[in-house]
Structure 1
Amino acid sequence: MEELQSALGNRGLTVSKLPEKGRCLLTTKDFYPGEVIISQEPYVCVPNNSAGNSKCDACFESSHLKKCSGCQVVYYCSSTCQKSEWKLHRLECQALSKLPEEKRRAVTPSLRLMIRLYCRSKLQSQKTIPTSAMDNYNLVEALVAHMSEVDEKQMVLYAQMANLVSLILQRPDINIKEIAENFSKFACNAHTICDSELKPLGTGLYPVISIINHSCLPNSVLLFEGRSAVVRAVQHIPEGAEVLISYIDTAGSTVTRQKALKEQYLFTCACPRCIKAGHYEDIQESAILEGYRCKDNKCDGFLLRDSDDKGFICQQCGRLKGKEEIIEMESEIRSLQEKAIIAVESTPSITYHEVIATLKAMETLQRYLCHDFCIYLIPTWEELIKNLMKAEDWSEALAYCRLTIPVYQRVYPGFHPSLGLQYYTCGKLEWLLGETDDAVKSLTKAVDILRITHGTSTPFMKDLFRRLEEARAEAFINGVD
């Protein structure tokens, strides 16, 4: 712990304890928006490989892949990547190679993550792989497992997975109870590794980053540069303040957020946003984000359940939206949703236009049923944008992209990567359609947000800066003409 405190002290940080939270990360200096607070390489990580979607085990790239000739499970994109991982993979490879082929194919990312955890800890204990203050198994041991709060069904699953790991590793020095406890630690502490556009790539364990607590109103953001986890300030964080990130997507009602946090992370959030639960403004916001719209399309009031349970009453104009009507429409939406999923999975045998038609029908019903700022519209709009872009219908894709912006602005704070990326998508489409002035505005907004959340040095950000400069140059030329 002293070594960790010393390493963190050099970064303007310290580990402390709060009565209601346990361990936390505090600042010992001021941090400003966009400044890196802390970064860490994973103790262990694995790509989320699936059929037809494999990635390099070292860099998570998906091109020029070759299977490991030993285990036939792991992929590498180059000899450089293979060599960089060989010390660790050698032990893993030996264990996996002993399995029958069909069982090797059934090894999930979660099982691989655990296998690699024990392989790495063994190599570090043998001094084959170096340790440091921020890279050692003691940090993993210090993570909270919440075993007393895990339900029986989940406990059985952890025990079964622990048995599998034990059989694969064939190491008598590791007991099954410890492995099961580490699976519980993974559930509460592992992070989904995403690319710059927040697309999931894999899973990693970052023991020091895991010290950082959650808030639904975070003062910092966790993103990834390759496999490195990087936490940046999104607002001024004064000396002595706690560093806070969000563990979940915060675009939801207090009830939804609390449910997600309790199920996944086994705690109840008491951040400034969550302590308003039950207050009128929180009830109103929840009804807007996840509730129904008034029967009068011209009314923007929010609806609450009526006392007789006949439906929902608009709090602005008093109109009742009947329960039967809502149930019928929700059933129809679910049916269309299932149809859309089947259609997407059937592509290219089903054309994008058929997928789009189904999604549009679903969106029409949702917009009639839900409030204009309802978060349930977002996934439908995102799917429409994606499929319209695949169909090269840029104009309609832009129209839907613009629809998402007001909702994103409402549900996310000003410096949120999702909002910045939405402006980025708008800007790309506007530029493609020759709407250069609008493209400059959208890309500028994207840059203003993403330079805080993403920094300025990644390939993604350099490409964004280039696009903005080219759009500005084009807008200038058009203005001169």
Structure 2
Amino acid sequence: MEDLQSVLLDRNLTVSSVPEKGRSLFVTKDFYPGEVIISQEPYVCVPNNNSVQKRCEGCFTTTNLKKCSRCQVVWYCGTSCQKLEWKFHRLECEVLSRLDNDKKKYVTPSIRLMVKLYLRRKLQNEKIIPSTVMDNYNLVEALVSHMSDITKEQLLLYAQMANLVNVILQWPEINIKEIAENFSKFACNAHTICDSELRPLGTGLYPVISIINHSCLPNSVLVFEGRSASVRAVQHVPKGSEVLISYIETAGSTMTRQKALKEQYLFNCTCPRCSKLGQYDDIRESAILEGYRCKNEKCDGFLLRTTDGKGFQCQQCGLVREKEEIKKTATEIKSLSEEEASKLSSAGYYQEAISIYKMIEKLQTKLYHPFSINLMRTREKILKSLMELEHWSEALAYCKLTIPVYQSAYPAIHPLLGLQYYTCGKLEWYLGETEEAVKSLTKAVDILRITHGTNTHFVTELLMKLEEARAEASYKSSSKE
């Protein structure tokens, strides 16, 4: 720990223990929006391979893949990634090759992540690959597992998974209890590796970054470039402040966020946003994000339950919606299979999926507040399917419908808001709405240069698009004159 402290101090960081939180990361100098607070390579990581899609073990790409001829589990895009991973995969390949095809079906990304954890420890212990202060198994041991807080069902699942890891490794000295505890650590500490547009690619364990605690009003954001994780400040983080990121989707009511955090991470959040639970601002936010719309379609007021519990009253115009009427519409929505629409979309039947989503949207428009996140997410799904079908005009219309909700649900500097502006700008530009595209792309740049960094390939491309759009807008303007 002292060695880690020394390295962190050189990076203007320090680890301190905070009551109710445990280890926490603090800054020892001021950090400003867009500055990288800390970066780390994964101790172990795996692509999220499944029966439908495979990714390269090295770079997570989905193109030009070839399966390892020996183990028949791991995929590579070429010799460069294969060579880069060889010291590691040589051992993994050996243990996976011993499995019959039936057992290989159970080698999920989570199982592979655990197998790789122990293989990496072995390789570092044997000095085959180097250990550093920021890259060693001791950091994994120091992570919190919350084993005493998990359910019996979860404990049984971890034990079963640990037994499978034992079957794969076949090491006499292996400790089943330790493996089960490490699975619990994964659940609380592993991160989903995403691309620049926040699409999930894999899972990685970043033991130092895992020290960073959660807040529903974070001052920093975790983003990835390839497999490398970086935490960037999204606001001024004064010297002596704790570094805070969000572990979950923050667009939701306090109760929804608290439930998600308790189920996944086994703690109750006490951040400034959550501490307002039950106060007027919190009630209003919850009623807008997850509540019902006013009976008067022209009114954008939020509804609260009436004192007799028989309905919901608009806090702006006073109209009441009967509980039974709301229940009826909710039942109609439930009868439409969103799961079926998702399956159709995944299978490439986008038009069929859109038809179902639009029926859901129509009912949700009647039921939910215009800024409802449920309605927003349905429209996002329609937007994605429309873009797959290259129905650009309608896609733009749906994108514009989501923007106000994003602005309401997220802070001004949030990657999801920036990415939505980016999508809007690209669609506007493609459709010849150049001046509007410049506005949207400028908004995207203003956010994403902070969350993603100006030197990343993604933001560099975005800046080039913005300059091209500006040049085109200028040309069109001069042509009119």
TM-score (norm: length of structure 2) = 0.98
Q: Trace 1:82-481 onto structure 2 (pairs within 5 A).
A: 82-336=82-336, 337-348=338-349, 352-481=350-479
Question: Is the Cα–Cα contact under 8 Å of residues 73 and 105 in structure 1 kept in the other structure?
Answer: no
Cα distance in 1 for partners of 2:264, 2:202 equals 18
Cα distance in 2 for partners of 1:346, 1:435 equals 32
Q: Which amino acid aligns with 1:417?
A: P
Question: Is the Cα–Cα contact under 8 Å of residues 447 and 464 in structure 1 kept in the other structure?
Answer: yes
Cα distance in 2 for partners of 1:67, 1:244 equals 40
Cα offset for 1:263?
0.4
Q: Deviations over 1:138-189 (max 9, x none)?
A: 0000000011101111001001111111111111222110000000000000
Cα offset for 1:343?
3.2
Cα distance in 2 for partners of 1:344, 1:477 equals 40
| SS of residue matched to 1:386 | helix
State the superposition RMSD in angstroms. 1.1
Cα offset for 1:364?
1.3
Residue number in structure 2 paired with 1:36: 36
Q: Percent identity?
A: 69
Cα distance in 2 for partners of 1:117, 1:357 equals 45
Moved more, 418-427 or 48-57: 48-57
Question: Is the Cα–Cα contact under 8 Å of residues 67 and 73 in structure 1 kept in the other structure?
Answer: yes
Cα offset for 1:339?
4.3
Moved more, 242-251 or 88-97: 88-97
Cα offset for 1:341?
2.8
Question: Is the Cα–Cα contact under 8 Å of residues 420 and 449 in structure 1 kept in the other structure?
Answer: yes
Task: Give structure 1 regions of 4+ aligned residues with deviation exceeding 4 angstroms.
Answer: none
Residue number in structure 2 paired with 1:81: 81
Cα offset for 1:342?
4.3
Q: Which amino acid aligns with 1:344?
A: S
Cα offset for 1:346?
4.7
Cα distance in 2 for partners of 1:273, 1:295 equals 30
| SS of residue matched to 1:174 | coil
Cα offset for 1:6?
1.3
Cα distance in 1 for partners of 2:37, 2:342 equals 40
Cα offset for 1:338?
4.0
Cα distance in 2 for partners of 1:355, 1:7 equals 52
Uncovered stretches (5+) of structure 2, i.e. residues with no partner: none
Cα distance in 1 for partners of 2:128, 2:385 equals 49
Distance 1:188 1:122, change over 3 A: same
| SS of residue matched to 1:376 | helix
Distance 1:43 1:426, change over 3 A: same
Cα offset for 1:56?
0.5
Cα distance in 2 for partners of 1:450, 1:391 equals 27
Cα distance in 1 for partners of 2:342, 2:330 equals 16
Cα distance in 1 for partners of 2:224, 2:458 equals 12
Cα distance in 1 for partners of 2:260, 2:292 equals 22
Alignment length, in residue pairs? 478
| SS of residue matched to 1:231 | strand
Distance 1:60 1:343, change over 3 A: closer
Residue number in structure 1 paired with 2:68: 68
Cα distance in 2 for partners of 1:342, 1:419 equals 27
| SS of residue matched to 1:218 | coil
Q: Which amino acid aligns with 2:98?
A: K
Cα distance in 1 for partners of 2:354, 2:443 equals 29
Q: Which amino acid aligns with 2:181?
A: E
Cα distance in 2 for partners of 1:66, 1:366 equals 45
| SS of residue matched to 2:39 | strand
Cα offset for 1:345?
4.3
| SS of residue matched to 2:60 | coil
Cα offset for 1:307?
2.5
